[in-house]
A and B are shown apart, each in its own frame.
Chain A
Amino acid sequence: MSVIAESQESDEAGNKGLKAGALGLGSAIVIGVASTAPGYSLAAGLGGIVSEVGKQAPAIVWMAFIPMFFIASAYKYMNKVDPDCGTTFTWVTRSFGPNAGWMASWGLIMADLVIMPNLAGISGQYLFILIGKPEWADNKWAVLIAGVLFILAMTWICVIGIELNAKTQMGLLAAEVITLIIFAVVALAKANITPSLSWLNPFEITTPDGSMNWSAIAAGINLSLFIYWGWDTAVAVNEECADSDKTPGRAAVISTFILVANYVIVSFAVISVAGIDKLGESSDVLETSAETVFGNHGFGAVFFKLLVIAVLSSAAASCQTTILPAARSTLSMGVHKAIPAKFAETHPRYLTPTFSTWLFGGIAVAWFVFLVVISGGDWQGDNSPYILSISAVGLMIAFYYGATGYAAVAYFWRYLFKSSKAFFAVGLSSLLGALILTWSFVVTLMDDGGGKLTYIGLGLLFLGVPLMLACRTVDGGSFFRIKPDPMEDRPDPFEPDAHSPELGTYRKEV
C-alpha cells in the first residue's frame, strides 16, 4: 500500500471567505460601511454625544472621523507587512517589545469587554420595543435579563461558528442604511427646529464665556470614536485582499463618504426633531425621535418597526465582531505563549477557540450585571452604565489604536525619510492619529477627575499589569524574551512582497 501524503497548506492569509478579490465595488463598499454597525452605533452613541456638545453633535461626529482616518494608515501598512496574525498584539510587540505588545492587546480585549453591556442593554431594550412591550424596556431588571440572554446567545453563536453568508450580510446592511436614510429624510421634513449648517462648525463648541470648550470636544470625540470603530480594520483588510485593480481604494473612499454622511445627517435629523433638551434626558435618542417622526400607526408604525429591527440586527452583528476579535486575540496570545496555552485550544467539533470565547462571554455577563447593579436609580441618563460603557470604550480604543499608531511610526522609522509618500502616508498620518487619540484619552480622564469613568478606564487597564506579570511563568517566560524586530530586518512597506520575519525569530538568550 502506498500513502501519498500531500498536505495542501492553507494559502497565505486573507484570501478566503468574503474573498475581496472576487468582490465587486458594491460589495466592497457595503463591507466598509457594515464594519461599524451604523444602526446600533447611532442608537447607542448619539445620546451621549448630544449631552456633551448639544447642537454641535454633527461637528463632533465628523471631527471624530479624523483620528480614525489617520490611524487607518497604521493599520494598512502594518497589515501589509504582517497580515492577519494577532494584529495590534504582534505589531506592537514587533516595535516595542513583548511588554508593550501584551498591554496593547490587553487594551483591545478590554475595549471589547467594556462595550458588551451597552450592546446587551440596547439589544434588550429594542427587543422589548419590537415585541410591543416598551414598558419592559424601562425596567432595568427586565433589560438585564434580556441582555444577559443576548450575550450568552451571541457567545454560543461564535462558539459553534455560525456566520451569515456574505449576501445575507449585505442585504441586512443595505436595509439598515436605507431605513436610517428614510428616517433622516422624514425627520428633517418634520423638523421642529430648523437645521442649521452652523451645527457642523466645531468652533461653536464653546463655554458660556465664548471660548472654545476643549474638554467637551475631547469628551465628544472620545464618545464618537466608538461609532467609527472597525472601519479602519475593514479598510486595511480589504486593501490587503485585493488583487490589483482600483476597486478597494474606490470602495474605501465611497464607503467612508456614505458612513460619515449617514452619521452626520442622522444626527442633524435627530436634533432637529427632538431638540437637545429632550435628547439629553435619554440615553437612546434614536428611538425617542423615531417615535416622534414615524408615529404609531399606518406606514409610520411599519417604518418604526423597521428601524428597531435595523438596530437589533446591527447590534447582533456588532456583538459578533466584538466577541470574535477578543477571542482571536487571546488565541494569538496563547499561541505565542503570552498567556496560558489553554486559550489557544480549539474545540474538536466546532474548531473554534471555545475556552477563549466562553471565558470572554462569561466575563462580559459578569461585568454587565455588575454595572447594572451598581447603577442604582440612575440607569438611563448621563451616568447610566450604557453611556459609561461608551466613554470607557473610547478610552480603550484610544489606548490600543494609539499604541498601534506609535508602533507603526517606530516600525517603519528607517523608511520614513526616504520618500515623501512614506513620510506623509505612513509616518505623519499614523503619528497624528496616535497623538489625537492620546490627547482625547488624557483630556477625557482629566475632565472626569476621579469619577466612575476614571476608575473603570484606568482600573481595567492597570489590571493588566499584574496579570501580565503572572503570565511571565507561562512556558518559562519564552514570550517575554522576544526582542523587537531589528531595524535591518524590518521590511519596506512599499515593496510588493514585503513581509516581517516570523514573530519570535529574535529572542534574548536564557
Chain B
Amino acid sequence: MAGELVVGYDGLECAQTALRVAAGLAKSMEVGLIIVFAAEPPQLNLGGAGDQRRLLAERGAELLDEAAALIAESGVEVSQRVVDEKPEHALITVADECHAPIIVVGTYSERPLAAALVGSTPHKLLHLSNHPVLVVPVPDEE
C-alpha cells in the first residue's frame, strides 16, 4: 500500500483549499493524510528563540486541530505533525518518512517576482523535493 499523502497547512485560505483537495485525493486513493504545520524562527546564531519556538508549536497544534475538523466529514484517516523546521524541509522530511506518493501545498498566487524575492514554499519545494508535488491555487472569485 502506498504511504499517506502529505499536505502543508498554515491556516490561511490557500492552505484550506489545498487541504480540501488533498482530502478528496486521499479519499479516492484510499490512503491516509498527514497534515503538517512547519515554522522555524530565524537562526543567525543569536540564541534566545525558545519562547518564539514554543509559541509557534502551540499555534501549530491549534491550527492542525482546526484543519482536522475542516475535513472531518471526508472520513479520511488524518494525522497531524508540528515540525520545527523551514516548511519546505519539513514537508520533505515527513514525506520521506511515510513514503508519501504526493506532497500537496497551496499557493498564495503571488506574482513570480514577489515569490522569488520572498521565497515561497511551493517554489522551493519544487526545486528540492524528490516526491511529486501538487500545487493548488486559490480559485478565482469572479
Contacts and interface: CB of A to CB of B under 8 A. Distances in A.
Q: Do A and B bind each other?
A: yes
A163 B44 contact: yes
Interface string A85-116: 11100000000000000000000000000000
Given A1-B75, A6-B81, A348-B12, A238 B52 contact: no
Interface stretch (A52-60, A257-265, A321-329, A393-401): A321-329
Contacts of A331: 51-52, 55
Interface string A46-68: 00000000000000000000000
B139 interface: no
Contact of A332 (B51, B56, B57, B76): B51
Given A16-B43, A17-B40, A17-B43, A325 B48 contact: yes
A465 interface: no
Interface in B30-86: 39-57, 59-61, 64-65, 68, 72, 75-86
Interface stretch (A177-185, A229-237, A287-295): A229-237
Contacts of B64: 5, 7
Given A17-B43, A18-B45, A335-B55, A5 B50 contact: no
Interface string A328-339: 110110011000
Secondary structure call for the A interface:
loop
A9 B82 contact: yes
B17 to A, nearest CB: 15
Interface residues of B, number: 43
Interface residues of A, number: 52
Contacts of A325: 46, 48
A13 B85 CA distance: 12
B112 to A, nearest CB: 17
B132 interface: no
A163 B47 contact: no
Contacts of B40: 16-17
B79 A4 contact: yes
B11 interface: yes
Nearest to B11: A348
B118 interface: yes
Nearest to A108: B48
A236 B64 CA distance: 35
Given A6-B80, A8-B81, A79 B68 contact: no
A11 B84 contact: yes
A31 B45 contact: yes
B105 to A, nearest CB: 14
Contact of A328 (B39, B46, B77): B46
Contacts of B83: 8, 10
A353 interface: yes
A16 B85 contact: yes
A352 B52 CA distance: 8
A10 B57 contact: yes
B43 A7 contact: no
B82 A353 contact: no
B43 A84 contact: no
B19 to A, nearest CB: 14
Contacts of A373: none
Contact of A321 (B44, B51, B80, B118): B44
A35 interface: yes
Contact of A13 (B44, B53, B55): B53
Given A17-B40, A346-B56, A328 B48 contact: yes
Contact of A4 (B12, B41, B77): B77
A3 B47 CA distance: 36
A5 B46 contact: no
A324 B42 CA distance: 8
A332 B48 contact: yes
14 contacts: A1-B76, A3-B79, A9-B57, A14-B47, A16-B84, A17-B40, A84-B48, A163-B42, A328-B51, A331-B52, A335-B54, A348-B11, A349-B12, A351-B56
Given A5-B65, A321-B44, A332-B50, 20 more contacts: A1-B77, A2-B77, A3-B77, A4-B78, A6-B79, A7-B60, A7-B82, A10-B82, A17-B40, A84-B47, A84-B53, A160-B118, A163-B42, A163-B44, A233-B47, A237-B45, A324-B42, A331-B51, A335-B51, A346-B52
The 5 A-B residue pairs with the shortest CB-CB distance, nearest first, are A10-B84, A85-B50, A17-B43, A84-B50, A87-B48
